[in-house]
């Protein structure tokens, strides 16, 4: 495959960063990859597994001569690092990221004067394990990668990032950062918060100590996400609060309709909501 970057720099060699570096090297789209991170142990794990060619804890050192930089750190860290990355790289160096909320980093790129050479990305992949030791070059295969250019991104830059994700085996969906954030507020952040509040409700309803004994598979499935990393989700909620409140309100509107129908004993209305949910869930498959 055609080389997309002679010298790529992956900032953050955790699960996503190391998997991306490894897959891009294997696919031949990154000629050389530098890994940057704070943890020496994690960098050495990425290096010894061959996911990256060189590693350093010094961001400025790594960025020297880079033609593509991938920020693979938490969204708030990426937003904080971006001005330094813009400053240390040339106008021809393409900048991208992998964060799960896209408007803050796209706005940061505009604010840093790098709107033309920044393209956001969000691979819909991940896992419960973290760190370079769990990196897997097939992590993105068969998954959707959302690509979110800024309004001023060069067409050529968009194409490079789209081709990068295609090379990793992902199906690319390109949209604006606000559309991305509103959509994942419904498809990802809303399920997380529902799972959290279901589990939290159970802690308040256990009058006689029998509640846990009557928990079966349905509760487990529906609340599974509640066990996710609290700090990561607190940050996502903070960074996408507006779209999340909107998604919560959309849910509440349906929830209140259902409650009213149940209280009124309106069997037809209850069945209509159950049917709408059933059809939608069946349409997306197992």
Residues 154-183 that bind a copy of itself (CB under 8 A): 171, 173, 175, 179-180, 182-183
CA 163-166-168 angle, to 5 degrees, is 115
What order of strands is seen across the sheet that includes strand 54-56?
A: 54-56, 30-36, 5-11, 68-71, 94-97, 118-123, 144-149, 171-174
User: How many other C-beta atoms are found inside a 10 Å radius of the C-beta of residue 151?
Assistant: 9
Token duo for residue 33: 């990859």
> Do 123 and 145 form a contact (C-beta atoms < 8 A)?
yes
Decide whether 36 or 244 has the Cβ nearer to a copy of itself: 244
Residues 216-255 that bind a copy of itself (CB under 8 A): 216, 218-228, 230-231, 233-234, 237-238, 241, 244-245, 247-252, 254-255
Report in angstroms how near the CB of residue 144 gets to a copy of itself at its nearest: 5
- Verify binding: residue 151, a copy of itself, rule CB under 8 A: no
Decide whether 43 or 125 has the Cβ nearer to a copy of itself: 125
Report in angstroms how near the CB of residue 279 gets to a copy of itself at its nearest: 8
Decide whether 155 or 284 has the Cβ nearer to a copy of itself: 284
Residues 182-201 that bind a copy of itself (CB under 8 A): 182-184, 186-188, 190-201
- Verify binding: residue 275, a copy of itself, rule CB under 8 A: yes
- Say how many Å lie between the first and final Cα of the chain, rounded: 34
Residues 71-130 that bind a copy of itself (CB under 8 A): 124-125
Q: Specify the stretch interacting with a copy of itself by CB under 8 A; choose among 79-87, 88-96, 105-113, 215-223.
A: 215-223
Decide whether 108 or 248 has the Cβ nearer to a copy of itself: 248
Contacts of 64 (CB under 8 A, 6+ apart): 88
Report in angstroms how near the CB of residue 172 gets to a copy of itself at its nearest: 10
CA dihedral 249→251→255→258, nearest 10 degrees, is 120
Decide whether 61 or 238 has the Cβ nearer to a copy of itself: 238
Report in angstroms how near the CB of residue 199 gets to a copy of itself at its nearest: 4
Report in angstroms how near the CB of residue 145 gets to a copy of itself at its nearest: 10
Determine how β-strand 118-123 pairs with β-strand 144-149: antiparallel
Q: What is the DSSP annotation of 205-260?
A: S-SSS-GGGG--HHHHHHHGGGGS-HHHHHHHHHHTHHHHHHHHHHHHHHHHHHHH
| Total interface residues for a copy of itself by CB under 8 A | 89
Decide whether 38 or 259 has the Cβ nearer to a copy of itself: 259
> Do 254 and 277 form a contact (C-beta atoms < 8 A)?
no
Decide whether 54 or 270 has the Cβ nearer to a copy of itself: 270
Q: Residues 208, 212, 213, 214: is their CA dihedral positive or negative? A: positive
């Amino acid at each position: 495959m055609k080389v997309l970057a002679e010298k790529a720099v992956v900032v953050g060699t955790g699960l996503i960063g190391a998997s991306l570096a490894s897959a891009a090297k294997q696919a031949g789209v990154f000629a050389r990859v530098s890994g940057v991170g704070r943890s020496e142990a994690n960098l050495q794990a990425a290096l010894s597994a061959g996911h990256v060619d060189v590693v350093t804890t010094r961001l400025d050192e790594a960025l020297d001569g880079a033609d593509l930089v991938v920020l693979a750190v938490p969204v708030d860290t990426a937003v904080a690092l971006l001005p330094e990355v813009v400053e240390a790289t040339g106008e021809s160096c393409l900048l991208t990221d992998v964060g799960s909320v896209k408007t803050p980093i796209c706005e940061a790129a505009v604010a840093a004067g790098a709107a033309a050479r920044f393209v956001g990305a969000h691979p819909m992949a991940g896992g419960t394990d973290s760190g370079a030791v769990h990196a897997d070059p097939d992590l993105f295969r068969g998954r959707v990668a959302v690509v979110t250019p800024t309004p001023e991104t060069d067409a050529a830059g968009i194409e490079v990032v789209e081709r990068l994700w295609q090379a990793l085996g992902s199906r690319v969906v390109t949209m604006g950062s606000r559309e991305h954030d509103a959509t994942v507020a419904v498809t990802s952040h809303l399920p997380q918060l529902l799972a959290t509040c279901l589990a939290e409700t159970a802690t308040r309803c256990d009058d006689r100590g029998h509640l846990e004994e009557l928990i079966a598979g349905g509760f487990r499935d529906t609340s599974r996400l509640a066990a996710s990393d609290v700090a990561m989700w607190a940050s996502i909620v903070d960074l996408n609060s507006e779209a999340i409140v909107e998604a919560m309100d959309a849910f509440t509107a349906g929830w209140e309709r259902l409650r009213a129908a149940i209280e009124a004993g309106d069997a037809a209305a209850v069945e209509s909501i159950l049917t709408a949910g059933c059809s939608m869930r069946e349409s997306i498959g197992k």
